[in-house]
Amino acid sequence: MSGLNLDDFATLIERPDPGVRREAEEHRERLVPRPGALGRLDELGEWLAAAQGQVPVKPVERPRAILFAGDHGVASLGVSGGPEAGAYDLVRATLDGGSTAAVLARRFGAGLRVVDMSLDCDPELLPKEVTRHRVRRGSGRIDIEDALTAEEAEQAFRAGMAIADEEADSGTDLVVLGDLSVGGTTAAGTLIGALCGTDASVVTGRGGAGIDDLAWMRKCAAIRDALRRARPVLGDQLQLLAATGGADLTAITGFLLQSAVRRTPVILDGVVSAACALVAQRIAFRAPDWWLVGQSGGEPAQAKALDRLALNPLLDQGVTVGEATGALLALPLVQAAAALAAELPERS
């Protein structure tokens, strides 16, 4: 891929400041209530302090939910329970304020941004700020062909990086990451299966919209065939994304890595963001230190990826809808941890 050296990320990404984290731990020991009484909230507050590079931690005041949208050709096989019209319906509902992500973002004071990477619809149907990064109309059918050309993969990856820079420059202090896709969990299962060396059946779930047994078997077969195409290119992460990821997943991977470069903490959502995080980890091993996981979505591939990433979900509410819902549900928890770490008085 001309002009894009993924090896640079391993050098550019540093871990959240360990010295600041130790200082945050010492600060917590002086506060009421007693150390340990707040459970995982203490850990979250210390993680945020290290990410921000200061003690006491600043409140999370400018969170932003970012949803990357795309359609996947593999959905034509009947592997998804998503809307027949494609991900456009999901995007339209979000922009109109009627999706779970829109409701929760509004309730929790988070900005909301939708990025069309590969929707299979006329771009004129959506605002220009949504479509300006679009790479193509729908990603290829990954069981028989590449999702993207090499040039499209680089374009999508760079778009994700550019969006990360835009958010960092605008003052976003925490990103809630999600996707709006139809067929995206099939691509995610393929990436995770390839990177974890597992069979298709181990990483085939029922998706955010839920599918019946016959659709599950079709999805398993699609992932099996896509895995055959993914394994020969495992040594090149951008080529892997081009072969079996798609424009939205490729952009998310670039976004995650550049957010880590810019020291912007991110809450991951479901199996799609977990798959992208796993690819990003292969590129820069320190990158996962900048991420939290909102909730367990019940997808076997997500559990496999999170085990490899050594990340534990903050919540487990049985929510399978996707669309950053699980990550948004965890946002108040992270905000509470920051507020407590910043505002609790010291013991007298």
CA 341 to chain CA mean position, Å: 26
Of 43, 323, 343, 346, which is the active-site residue?
A: 323
Residue 63 β-bridge partners: 174
Whether 323 is catalytic is yes
CA distances from 247 to 76, 101, 157, 252, 267 (A): 17, 21, 8, 9, 21
Can you give the chain as a three-state secondary structure string?
A: CCCCCCHHHHHHCCCCCHHHHHHHHHHHHCECCCCCCCCHHHHHHHHHHHHHCCCCCCCCCCEEEEEEEEEEHHHHHCCCCCCCCCCHHHHHHHHCCCCHHHHHHHHHCCEEEEEEEECCCCHHHCCHHHHCCCCCCCECCCCCCCCCCHHHHHHHHHHHHHHHHHHHHHCCCEEEEEEEEECHHHHHHHHHHHHHCCCHHHHCCCCCCCCCHHHHHHHHHHHHHHHHHHHHHCCCHHHHHHHHCCHHHHHHHHHHHHHHHCCCCEEECCHHHHHHHHHHHHHCCCHHHHEEEEECCCCHHHHHHHHHHCCCEEECCCCCCCCCHHHHHHHHHHHHHHHHHHHCCECC
Q: Which residues are catalytic?
A: 323
